[in-house]
Amino acid sequence: MRIIGTGSALPKKIVTNDELSKIVETSDEWITDRTGIRERRIAVDETTVSMAAEAGKKALEDAKIDAGQIDLLIVSTFTPDKSLPNTACAVQGILGCHHAVAFELNAACSGFLFALNTVCAYFSLGIYKKALIIGAETISKVLDWEDRSSCILFGDGAG
């Protein structure tokens, strides 16, 4: 198994540490010293599906693979836009991976690794040969923006 292409998608809106200091008791220096984070991206118009599809499209282009060649599509997210259709099936339709088995995996921060291991298992059994794995989150919609211990850490995006 090898990775032959990558892609990513980020929301347009940038929220800096200084902007967060207007919401919770913190400062740019406090956040940067503890985390190294200076800014994060927050979805306004973007959704988990739209960012996942954009990242998937870029990965396919980078790999020079047609969407119709994908056998397996896994989207890892704990912040889906809705339950049904799941994020992977929505992305499958947008990208045109019509021959792929598509499902969503929910494992939060370790989601990409679980998806990678799942693909490895399918590959080792010879069930599938080409897979697209996408990790996508819109954590901003479930984040407690008044909790300094967590709101400083997270942003939205897909890869």
Which residue is it, tokens 């339709």?
Answer: 93
Rounded (10°) angle between helices 87-95 and 48-63: 50
Nearest to 24 by CA among 146, 111, 153, 149: 146
C-alpha distances out from residue 47 to 10, 12, 31, 42, 158, Å: 10, 12, 26, 10, 10
User: Which pLDDT value is given to residue 36?
Assistant: 97
Confidence (pTM): 0.95
Alpha-carbon distance of 72 to 52, in angstroms, equals 15
User: Which pLDDT value is given to residue 158?
Assistant: 98
User: Which pLDDT value is given to residue 134?
Assistant: 98
Nearest to 101 by CA among 117, 82, 88: 88
User: Which pLDDT value is given to residue 90?
Assistant: 98
Spell out the per-residue pLDDT of the chain, length 159, in tens. 999 999 999 999 999 999 999 999 999 999 999 999 999 999 999 999 999 999 999 999 999 999 999 999 999 999 999 999 999 999 999 999 999 999 999 999 999 999 999 999 999 999 999 999 999 999 999 999 999 999 999 999 999
At 54, list the tokens: 């954009």
User: Which pLDDT value is given to residue 116?
Assistant: 97
Nearest to 129 by CA among 101, 93, 89: 101
